[in-house]
Amino acid sequence: MSGMGKTYVGSRLRQLRRERDLSQASLAATLGLSASYVNQIEHDVRPLTVPVLLRITEAFGVDATFFSRDDDSRLLAEIQDVVLDKELCPSPVELQELSELVYNHPAIARTMVDMHRRYRNVRDKLSIATDTRRHAGPLNAAGPQALSMPHDEVRDFFYARQNYLDDLDTNAEAISADLDIQRFSIRSTEESLAERLRERHGIEISTSEDLDGTLHSLDRSTGHLQLASRLNTGQRAFRMGMELAYLEAGDDIEALISAESFTSEASANLARRGIASYFAAAVLLPYKGIHSEAERSGYDVDFLCHVFGVGYETVASRLSTMQRPNLRGIPFTFVRVDRAGNMSKRQSATGFHLANSGGTCPLWNIYETFTNPGTILRQLAQMPDGRNYLWIARTVRHHRGRFGDTGKLFAIGLGCEARHADRTVYAQGLNLDDLSSATPIGAGCRVCPRENCAQRAFPPIHEEITIDAHRSSVAPYN
* pLDDT score for 62: 61
pLDDT-derived band at 6, boundaries 50, 70, 90: low
Helices 312-319 & 265-284 angle (0-180, nearest 10): 100
The pLDDT, as a whole number, for residue 353 is 59
For residues 294 and 304, is the Cβ–Cβ distance under 8 A? yes
- What's the mean pLDDT in 426-441? 90
Which of 438, 458, 439 has its CA nearest to residue 448? Answer: 458
pTM for the whole thing?
Answer: 0.76
Min mean pLDDT across 126-130, 139-143, 195-199 is at 139-143
Of 343 and 463, more confident: 343
| Cα–Cα separations (whole angstroms), residue 442 to 15, 89, 214, 447 | 31, 21, 37, 8
Considering only 13-17, 279-283, 307-311, 408-412, which range has the smallest mean pLDDT? Answer: 13-17
The answer on pLDDT for 165 being more than 90 is yes
Closest CA to 355 of 393, 331, 383: 383
Residue 379 has pLDDT above 80, yes or no: yes
Beta strands 408-417 and 224-228 are unpaired
Closest CA relative to residue 239, chosen from 287, 211, 205, 265 = 205
93-109: pLDDT as tens digits: 887 788 888 878 888 98
| 388-414 pLDDT, tens digit each | 899 999 999 986 666 667 778 999 999
Residue 355 confidence (pLDDT) above 70: no
Whether the per-residue pLDDT at 173 is higher than 80: the answer is yes
Q: Which amino acid is at 388?
A: N
Res. 166: pLDDT tops 90: yes
pLDDT bin (cut points 50, 70, 90) of residue 134 is very low
Q: How far apart are CA 5 and CA 9, in angstroms?
A: 12
Q: Can you tell me the distance from the alpha carbon of 461 to that of 446, in angstroms, rounded to the nearest whole number?
A: 5
What does the H/E/C string look like for the chain? CCCCCCECCHHHHHHHHHHCCCCHHHHHHHHCCCHHHHHHHHCCCCCECHHHHHHHHHHHCCCHHHHCHHHHHHHHHHHHHHHCCCCCCCCCCCHHHHHHHHHHCHHHHHHHHHHHHHHHHHHHHHHHHHCHHHCCCCHHHHCHHHHCCHHHHHHHHHHHCCCCCHHHHHHHHHHHHHHCCCCCCHHHHHHHHHHHHHHHHCCEEEEECCCCCCCEEEECCCCEEEEECCCCHHHHHHHHHHHHHHHHCHHHHHHHHHCCCCCCHHHHHHHHHHHHHHHHHHHHCCHHHHHHHHHHHCCCHHHHHHHHCCCHHHHHHHHCCCEECCEECCCCEEEEECCCCCEEEEEECCCCCCCCCCCCCCCCHHHHHHHCCCCCEEEEEECCCCCEEEEEEEEEEECCCCCCCCCEEEEEEEEEEHHHHHHCHHHCCCCCCCCCCCEECCCCCCCCCCCCCCCCCCCCCCCCCCCCCCCCCCCCCC
Residue 144 clears pLDDT 50, i.e. is over it = no
Are 388 and 435 in contact, with CB atoms under 8 Å apart?
yes
CB 349 within 8 A of CB 331: yes
Look at residue 141 and tell me whether its pLDDT is greater than 50.
no
**pLDDT per position as a tens digit, 263-296:** 889 999 999 999 999 999 999 999 999 999 999 9
Q: Which of 23-37, 56-70, 72-86, 362-376 shows the highest mean pLDDT?
A: 362-376
In the chain, what percentage of residues exceed pLDDT 70?
85
Q: What percent of the chain has pLDDT over 90?
A: 40
The average pLDDT across 322-347 equals 88
C-alpha span between 418 and 350 (Å, rounded): 11
Q: What does the pLDDT read at residue 218?
A: 94
Query: What's the rounded mean pLDDT across residues 290-307?
Result: 96
Choose from 185-189, 321-325, 382-386 the range with maximum mean pLDDT. 185-189
* Greater pLDDT, 248 or 41: 248
Low-confidence winner among 144-153, 168-177, 195-204, 319-328 (lowest mean pLDDT): 144-153
pLDDT at residue 289, rounded to an integer: 95
* Three-point CA angle 194, 223, 191, nearest 5°: 5
Mean pLDDT of the chain: 83
Q: Which domains does the chain have, with CATH numbers?
A: 10-67 (1.10.260.40), 73-147 (no CATH), 150-324 (1.10.10.2910), 330-478 (3.30.450)
pLDDT over threshold 60, residue 358: no
